[in-house]
Chain A
Amino acid sequence: MNNDLRKKIVDMICKAGEGHIPSAFSIIDIIAFLYDKYLKFDPKKTDWEERDYFILSKGHGCAALYVVLEKHGFITQKDLNNKSKIGGILGGHPDRTKVPGAEASTGSLGHGIVTALGIALGLKIRGKKNKVIALVGDGECNEGTIWETALVASNLKLGNLCVIVDNNGSAAQVLPMEKFPKKWEAFGWEAHEIDGHNQKKIEEVFKKIKFDLCSKPKVIVANTIKGKGVSFMETHGPWHYKIPNQEELKCVYKELEE
């Protein structure tokens, strides 16, 4: 559990007066792992050609990305403090023209994954071995472009592309989509399913998958809990875009310190 990062997320969002806390909590363990142990990057040279690409397609979860980028030196604590303020570089959705390390400006669902598809194809044409990883939400998988991408990436044998589905169940309350892995497999992808909060399982799955330039694209369906880490925020509800008041904030920090 990355509770220090979770506290940082809450702190940043409370200062900003806006933000999606539960959506960030469901993906923070995955993003923290990727930057701590998996991706190749250089925070001082964000256009480094040999870097791996991580695209947060569900842009509203950006608070998780921001705190990880700060942890690894792409941006500063001051940037976090200025989120959603005039002159700040961090908004409620990431803007690649402003945020060092953000590979795509996302927010409208069903775009980032397709950008990743184009990047993966470009790298494949150039014979480059960089990994391309896109993280989508389960609700985002309602979008048609997700499945257009699933079809196209499979047809182009983009083995250098991996999609992580943050399966936090939020969208299933509106439009249920069962058997996620099977659906991706039906489109020709290599599918894996894990507990998206279990560090060991996250590490294992990334050890298992092999990126190359001519095999099936990979999908990891990460079963997560929206708001994971704070009991009263967990699962879908009014906390989607809510800011805790002082009393609630005390409870949040208390739970995150336990």
Chain B
Amino acid sequence: MKDMRQEFADTLLEVGMKDNKFIVLVGDISHFKLVQFAKACPGRYYNVGICEPTIVNMAAGLSMVGFHPVVHTIAPFIVERSYEQIKLDFCYQNVGGNIITVGSAFDYSTLGCTHHCYVDFALLKPLPNTQIVFPASPVELNVLFKQSYDNGRLNYFRVPKYSHEQVFEPDQLKVGKGIMVREGSSVTIVVTGPQLKTALRSVVELKAINIDPEIIYIHTIKPFDQKIVLESVNKTKRVLVIEEHSMYGGMGDEVMRATKGISGIKYAFISLKDDFIRDYGTYEELCDLLGFSVKGIVSKIRSELI
């Protein structure tokens, strides 16, 4: 499967070749990946410098004169450092544009909190005129980006380093629509991002203890596909939400909102606790430590849902 960062570069090139209003601004990152774009789209690639709030704000200015801008750098430097620019220069003024980040959640596992970003859904969801996509496979990034990059909204694409490795067909992918990955009967697992891989790996162990999980994959956090979740939870009455995001303000909230009319539901969540991640190690090691593992899923379901 193609590397996510390569797909990012390829998708930008594909769109840039077709749309002469498409422009890319980066904050001194990924420039080697984007050399081809710069050559193919002269005058529409800018490695502006290390000044993220200015990059975000100037992208809004470019949008005002007809361009479809992409701003790209490491997630926290855009979402957290430049939050006011996103709010005021894009959302408040009804200006469209795109943010594509690297460094989803704790992908930069050894670099500490400065390079982590796991409150992004919580920050961006409340801003009007935003769309939030977490494409965790190359085809998702390509298809969902092309579907929406010029839709007049502020589109946030949280691009992870690692894919969930499932292969979806392009016609399965639509912004705002969840995907039924596995039908089951006893527990609904709603999962986003690379953790789909972990959820699918847990099926064998869950079936061994007579749990038949239904697995729903979510690539669009906003607008959230309430219908697919509601229908499944109506049937199972038990739901586990898995997301590489803070326990506050992420997809868990959306699942609860979607199912608020159903009585007697049991909820469980595998997400990030109310604390900073202060450990180092590989991405996989941090996943194990934080409960994003088959063991973590089985344990959570056994202890909280049955």
Contact = CB atoms under 8 A, between A and B. Distances in A.
Interface of A: 96-97, 103-105, 107-108, 111, 114-123, 125-126, 144-145, 148-149, 151-152, 155-156
Nearest to A122: B65
B233 interface: no
Interface string B51-68: 101100111111111110
Contact of B44 (A104, A120, A125, A152): A125
A118 B58 contact: yes
Nearest to A118: B61
Interface residues of B, number: 27
A96 B93 contact: yes
A58 to B, nearest CB: 15
Contacts of A118: 57-65
A114 B58 contact: yes
Interface of B: 23, 43-44, 46, 48-49, 51, 53-54, 57-67, 84-85, 88-89, 92-94
B93 A105 contact: yes
B88 A105 contact: yes
A111 to B, nearest CB: 6
Contact of A119 (B51, B61, B92): B61
Contacts of B85: 111, 114
A148 B66 CA distance: 23
Contacts of A97: 93-94
Contacts of A117: 54, 57-58, 61
Contacts, number: 86
Given A148-B53, A152-B54, A152-B58, A119 B64 contact: yes
Contacts of B67: 122, 125
A145 B48 CA distance: 13
Nearest to A125: B43
A111 B65 contact: no
Contacts of B93: 96-97, 104-105
Contacts of A114: 53-54, 57-58, 61, 85, 89
A149 to B, nearest CB: 6
Contact of A115 (B43, B44, B49, B58): B58
Contacts of B58: 114-115, 117-118, 121, 149, 152
Contact of B23 (A111, A120, A125): A125
A115 B64 contact: yes
- The 9 lowest CB-CB distance pairs between A and B, nearest first, are A118-B61, A118-B58, A114-B57, A122-B65, A148-B51, A148-B54, A115-B61, A119-B61, A118-B62
5 contacts: A111-B89, A114-B61, A118-B58, A118-B60, A152-B58
